[in-house]
């Protein structure tokens, strides 16, 4: 059934159900003057609402919510069914990421008299999602008390596990450990294995980043217990273990864990989709893009079935990045468009940032730098919003941590007291919180000409009321000390009383004695110092926080940009303090500066380059152009802007450029072509600019005259090849003349005469080939034959040679660069065969393989390794100049070819791994024939 048809069916039932309910008067029960809905009607309604929710569309979710609201507005006689309806509504809001609505819904239920502990557990989770950690912990503790009153120890264990999660995220590992140990004892005592597994899981998750190895051990222990008890829990823990393997670069273990998961864990679409995404990430680390796309598509299919919009958008963005890596820009853009429709609707901050990054990379890839710049600005703006949110989140965690330290001792007593004492304590706690909050409203200041204003009236001793013990102070300090944000506490004069590690690192001071009691503002200079002093003064005068101002810090090492926030803080009756947080935003500021510089450089570049640059609208009219383009078109600016581009350009190029333009607009892909008009060469590039609707609104054209450059480069390379060939000829001739001289010295006139005749014929062939860039394969074989005859005489017939020629080769017509194989043959004889105690053998084979001519040289010499050892340390050993010349020749030859000449040298080994010779394979593409 398609989504549209599902929606129509849903709408039909939505219209029909009220009439069905009205018709079933027998299912409405009257009790104490109230009309209660019967159990059967509630069950039927919940079953129907569940089927509507399972369609997983925006429309179906709205229908399901409307029906649930209607159902919950009526008195339900069965309490269990009422809670089932509440649970269904909560799941619906969670799936839609509407956490604030979920909090309001649950609090409304509590006011209406629903005091079930599961309500408080739900509140704890929703407050956690909203970074309201103090309220999350309070709700968890309320759930624990409620479960204890009911005697439900399994519920106590479940609520305690959620406390472990929250304390772990706050970085309060002592508290997390304390509750973990308590829960181990409780779960073992009552035999609650599911709670035991969850305790290991939640405590293990809390150490994922701070102590990965400990996290791994805890999760592994939890999984071992879960194997025989709960497959679902085992699968859930497996996902965290896979992430551990990836984070610690144990890719092989990660793959094995994924395969094990997919074999055993088939339930839970979102869970399985997350593992598919992890597998895609593993393959992306190995640059296996096709496999990455395959697994991201599997994840997308499951997420579509689940209807989770955030997860679906995540998969779309992943696939967009994958296709961009494959240079498939159309598909990349299609997936970005799909993600956009979801991301802009749900407005999740992280998803927005990822989406803007994806758009920026896409437009940068297609060289639409203007649009890429616009999205980079959106990315920076979103990053700023998230930085501020992180800043507030850090402060929320610190405030929560501080509050928690005060409550721990009192909570222990509270758990032991009777109902009356519990109510009394709650009243006192609320009173203390009200007094501490109201204290800020009744502070009055009077001005002092030479110092900051002093607090004139204190209404309460905060330290005594909150019972801060030395142990609690230590815990409070520990929270600050290991924070990733720089944190300082200043006194009323602005001097530093406490600074954590991160702030010392940012301010470049490790020595406590030279750091404390220094005015914080003195770390800055000029206007930056004034900004800091004004902020601190405002905190004392107005007793309000100053958030998120940026200043520049220059120390002996480098320059930093810091994002600073200040807030009032009270410890003792006679002291005013300021809490200062520092966040390093240097890279963010640098990036903004770079982008502005790049924009300026781009504007300057357009008017200064020697290329013609034009922006052509879809109707063919010129939108904008640079100075070079104006000069080449030979018209004034007023006659060019708005004119039809294809009517202005010469007829010789008009047809081809119209074809290029139409193709770029149709396919939405860049196009680059070489344009040759007579003796002139142009490189023409066209790039589409795709708007938000996915249509091309204009095309950027770049025309570069490469005539002179190409001619010059080809002339230089031709000269270079001739020089290289001329180097090779005297190299060979020198060796040959040396051999003739040795025959004369030995008085071997006959051999000298035969040598001279062969040498003369060879020289004629070499001189003839030197005048040409390419010679026939037959001529090359003749040269090599004479060359080998001479070498054979030179080395007193201590080797034999042979030629093998593939009948499929037309040796008269095939053309190759001259003397490519000769240097390798020379090396084979000089460094391999001549050192043999037996007869040497050299085989030269010419074969055709697909579109290549393969030249195979094989000898039975001593091998490269033995030759290298013989020549090591011998200053008279000959250095092979010929191989160096060949490499230089190939660099020049391959420069203008789409396929290249290459060679490979293979060391031949026997059964006992001994050297039995060397093989050289030269591959020459047919393009050279």
- Residue-wise pLDDT for 19-43, tens only, equals 344 334 444 444 444 556 677 777 7
Percentage of residues of the chain with pLDDT beyond 70: 70
State how many domains the chain has. 3
**Going along 344-501, which residue ranges are E strands?**
445-448, 451-455, 486-490, 496-499
What is the rounded CA–CA span in Å between residue 89 and residue 198?
Answer: 25
Q: Are 911 and 835 in contact (CB under 8 A)?
A: no
Specify the 3-state DSSP secondary structure of 907: strand
Q: Among residues 330, 337, 332, 338, which one has the least CA distance to residue 320?
A: 332
Token pair, residue 120, equals: 């408080």
In a domain, 299, yes or no: no
Residues 673 and 813 in one domain: no
CA-CA distances (angstroms) from residue 904 to 824, 880, 919? 11, 17, 8
Specify the 3-state DSSP secondary structure of 573: coil
Residues 585 and 551 in one domain: yes
Range of the domain at 891: 766-928
Residues 569 and 637 in one domain: no
Token pair, residue 391, equals: 């800043």
In a domain, 173, yes or no: no
What is the rounded CA–CA span in Å between residue 406 and residue 433?
Answer: 11
Neighbours of 795 (CB within 10 A): 15
Asked whether residue 262 carries a pLDDT value surpassing 80, the answer given is yes
- Residue-wise pLDDT for 805-838, tens only, equals 998 888 888 888 888 888 889 888 888 888 888 8
**Poorest-pLDDT segment among 112-126, 251-265, 583-597, 668-682:** 583-597
Q: Among residues 116, 86, 90, 85, which one has the least CA distance to residue 103?
A: 90
The CATH number linked to 626 is 3.30.450.20
- Residue-wise pLDDT for 338-380, tens only, equals 999 888 887 777 788 889 889 988 888 888 877 877 887 887 7
- Strand-pairing partners, residue 146, are none
Domain termination site, one of 558, 590, 622: 590
> 363-396: string of b/e by CB count within 10 Å (b at 16+)?
bbebebbebbbebbebbbebbeeeeeeebeebbb
Residues 773 and 890 in one domain: yes
Neighbours of 513 (CB within 10 A): 6
- Residue-wise pLDDT for 704-737, tens only, equals 777 655 554 555 455 445 544 544 455 556 566 6
- Strand-pairing partners, residue 93, are none
Asked whether residue 659 carries a pLDDT value surpassing 60, the answer given is yes
Q: 897 pLDDT band (50/70/90 cuts)?
A: low
Residues 498 and 582 in one domain: yes
> 456-494: string of b/e by CB count within 10 Å (b at 16+)?
eeeebebeeebebeeebeebbebbbeebebbbbbbbbeb
Token pair, residue 860, equals: 């039975």
Residues 505 and 447 in one domain: yes
What is the rounded CA–CA span in Å between residue 482 and residue 472?
Answer: 16
Average pLDDT over residues 75-84: 74
**Going along 500-599, which residue ranges are E strands?**
546-554, 559-569, 577-584
Asked whether residue 114 carries a pLDDT value surpassing 90, the answer given is no
For the residues of 363-384, what is the DSSP string, one character each?
A: HHHTT-HHHHHHHHHHHHHHHH
Asked whether residue 96 carries a pLDDT value surpassing 70, the answer given is no
Report pLDDT for 7.
40
Q: Among residues 92, 133, 89, 141, which one has the least CA distance to residue 117?
A: 141
Site of tokens 């050289």: 920
In a domain, 599, yes or no: no
Residues 557 and 624 in one domain: no
In a domain, 225, yes or no: no
Which stretch of DSSP H or E encloses residue 436?
helix 419-439
Residues 411 and 495 in one domain: yes
In a domain, 243, yes or no: no
Asked whether residue 95 carries a pLDDT value surpassing 60, the answer given is yes
Site of tokens 């006139």: 749
- Residue-wise pLDDT for 779-802, tens only, equals 899 889 988 888 888 777 889 999
Residues 586 and 652 in one domain: no
What is the rounded CA–CA span in Å between residue 621 and residue 67?
Answer: 57
Report pLDDT for 429.
47
CB pairs under 8 A, 24+ apart, for 428-435? 432/465, 432/466, 435/459, 435/460, 435/465
Q: Is pLDDT larger for residue 438 or for residue 487?
A: 487
Asked whether residue 220 carries a pLDDT value surpassing 80, the answer given is yes
How remote is the C-alpha of 653 from its chain's centroid? 44
Report pLDDT for 335.
92
What is the rounded CA–CA span in Å between residue 130 and residue 565?
Answer: 21
Report pLDDT for 177.
86
Report pLDDT for 371.
83
Residues 693 and 549 in one domain: no
Q: Is pLDDT larger for residue 880 or for residue 409?
A: 880
Asked whether residue 14 carries a pLDDT value surpassing 50, the answer given is no
**Poorest-pLDDT segment among 140-154, 397-411, 580-594, 601-615:** 397-411
In a domain, 57, yes or no: no
The CATH number linked to 903 is 3.30.565.10
Residues 585 and 470 in one domain: yes
What is the rounded CA–CA span in Å between residue 301 and residue 914?
Answer: 57
Residues 398 and 527 in one domain: yes
Helical ranges in 831-928 per DSSP H? 864-871, 881-894
Q: Could you give the angle at the alpha carbon of 290 between the alpha carbons of 288 and 295, nearest 5°?
A: 100
In a domain, 632, yes or no: yes
Q: Among residues 890, 905, 773, which one has the least CA distance to residue 827?
A: 905
Domain termination site, one of 533, 556, 590: 590
Neighbours of 567 (CB within 10 A): 18
């Amino acid at each position: 059934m398609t989504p549209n048809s599902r929606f129509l069916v849903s709408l039909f039932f939505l219209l029909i159900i009220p009439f069905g309910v009205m018709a079933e008067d027998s299912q409405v029960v009257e009790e104490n003057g109230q009309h209660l809905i019967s159990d059967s009607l509630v069950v039927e309604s919940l079953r129907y609402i569940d089927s509507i929710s399972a369609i997983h569309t925006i429309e179906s979710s709205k229908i399901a919510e409307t029906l649930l609201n209607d159902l919950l507005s009526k008195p339900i006689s069965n309490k269990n069914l009422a809670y089932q309806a509440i649970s269904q509504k909560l799941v619906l809001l969670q799936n839609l990421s509407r956490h604030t609505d979920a909090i309001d819904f649950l609090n409304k239920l509590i006011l209406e008299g629903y005091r079930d502990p599961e309500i408080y557990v739900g509140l704890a989770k929703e407050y956690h999602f909203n970074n309201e950690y103090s309220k999350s912990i309070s709700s968890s503790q309320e759930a624990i008390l409620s479960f204890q009153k009911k005697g439900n120890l399994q519920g106590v264990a479940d609520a305690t596990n959620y406390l472990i999660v929250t304390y772990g995220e706050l970085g309060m590992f002592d508290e997390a450990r304390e509750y973990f140990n308590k829960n181990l004892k409780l779960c073992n005592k009552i035999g609650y294995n599911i709670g035991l597994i969850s305790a290991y899981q939640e405590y293990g998750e809390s150490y994922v980043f701070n102590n990965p190895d400990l996290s791994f051990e805890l999760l592994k222990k939890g999984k071992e217990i879960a194997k025989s008890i709960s497959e679902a829990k085992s699968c859930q823990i497996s996902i965290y273990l896979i992430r551990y393997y990836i984070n610690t670069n144990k890719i092989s273990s990660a793959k094995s864990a994924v395969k094990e998961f997919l074999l055993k864990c088939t339930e839970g679409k979102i869970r399985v989709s997350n593992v598919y995404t992890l597998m895609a990430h593993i393959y992306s680390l190995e640059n296996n893009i096709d496999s990455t796309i395959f697994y991201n598509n599997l994840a997308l299919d499951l997420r579509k079935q689940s209807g989770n919009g955030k997860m679906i958008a995540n998969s779309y963005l992943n696939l967009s990045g994958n296709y961009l890596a494959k240079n498939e820009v159309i598909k990349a853009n299609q997936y970005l468009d799909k993600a956009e429709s979801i991301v802009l609707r749900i407005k999740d901050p992280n998803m927005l940032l990822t989406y803007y990054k994806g758009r920026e990379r896409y437009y940068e890839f297609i060289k639409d730098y203007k649009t890429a710049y616009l999205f980079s600005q959106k990315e920076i703006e979103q990053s700023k919003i998230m930085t501020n949110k992180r800043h507030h989140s850090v402060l929320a965690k610190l405030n929560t941590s501080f509050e928690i330290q005060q409550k721990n001792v009192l909570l222990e007593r509270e758990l032991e007291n009777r109902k009356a004492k519990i109510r009394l304590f709650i009243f006192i706690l609320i009173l203390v919180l009200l007094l501490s909050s109201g204290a800020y409203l009744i502070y009055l200041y009077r001005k002092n000409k030479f110092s900051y204003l002093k607090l004139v009236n204190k209404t309460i001793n905060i330290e005594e009321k909150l019972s801060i013990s030395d142990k609690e102070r230590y815990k409070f300090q520990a929270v600050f000390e290991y924070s990733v944000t720089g944190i300082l506490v200043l006194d009323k004069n602005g001097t530093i009383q406490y600074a954590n590690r991160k702030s010392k690192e940012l301010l470049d001071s490790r020595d406590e004695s030279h750091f404390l009691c220094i005015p914080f503002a003195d770390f800055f200079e000029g206007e930056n110092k004034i900004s800091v002093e004004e902020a601190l003064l405002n905190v004392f005068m107005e007793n309000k926080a100053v958030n998120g101002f940026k200043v520049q810090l220059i120390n002996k090492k480098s320059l930093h940009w810091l994002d600073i926030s200040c807030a009032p803080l009270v410890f003792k009756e006679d002291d005013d303090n300021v809490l200062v947080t520092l966040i390093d935003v240097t890279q963010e500021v640098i990036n903004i500066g770079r982008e502005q510089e790049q924009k300026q450089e781009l504007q300057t570049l357009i008017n200064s380059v020697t290329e013609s640059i034009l922006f052509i609208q879809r109707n063919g009219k010129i939108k904008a152009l640079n100075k070079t383009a104006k000069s080449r078109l030979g018209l004034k600016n007023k006659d060019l802007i708005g004119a039809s581009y294809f009517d202005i350009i010469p007829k010789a190029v008009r047809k081809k450029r119209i074809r290029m333009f139409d193709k770029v607009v149709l396919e939405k892909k860049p196009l680059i072509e070489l344009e040759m008009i007579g003796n002139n060469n142009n490189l023409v590039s066209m790039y589409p600019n795709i708007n938000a609707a996915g249509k091309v609104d204009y095309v950027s054209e770049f025309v570069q005259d490469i005539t002179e450059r190409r001619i010059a480069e080809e002339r230089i390379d031709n000269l270079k090849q001739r020089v290289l060939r001329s180097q090779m000829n005297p190299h060979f001739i020198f060796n040959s003349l040396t051999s003739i001289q040795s025959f004369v010295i030995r008085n071997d006139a006959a051999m000298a005469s035969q040598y001279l005749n062969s040498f003369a014929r060879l020289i004629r062939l070499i001189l003839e080939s030197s005048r040409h860039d390419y010679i026939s394969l037959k001529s090359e074989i003749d040269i090599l034959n004479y060359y080998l005859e001479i070498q054979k005489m030179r080395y007193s017939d201590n080797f034999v040679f042979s030629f093998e020629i593939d009948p499929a080769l037309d040796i008269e017509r095939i053309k190759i660069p001259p003397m490519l194989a000769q240097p390798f043959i020379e090396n084979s004889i000089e460094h391999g065969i001549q050192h043999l105690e037996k007869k040497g053998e050299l085989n030269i084979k010419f074969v055709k393989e697909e579109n290549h001519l393969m030249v195979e040289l094989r000898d039975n010499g001593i091998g490269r390794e033995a030759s290298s050892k013989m020549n090591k340390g011998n200053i008279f050993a000959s250095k092979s100049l010929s191989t160096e010349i060949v490499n230089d020749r190939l660099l020049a030859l391959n420069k203008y070819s789409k396929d290249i000449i290459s060679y490979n040298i293979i060391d031949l080994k026997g059964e006992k791994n001994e050297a039995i010779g060397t093989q050289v394979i030269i591959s020459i593409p047919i393009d050279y024939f």
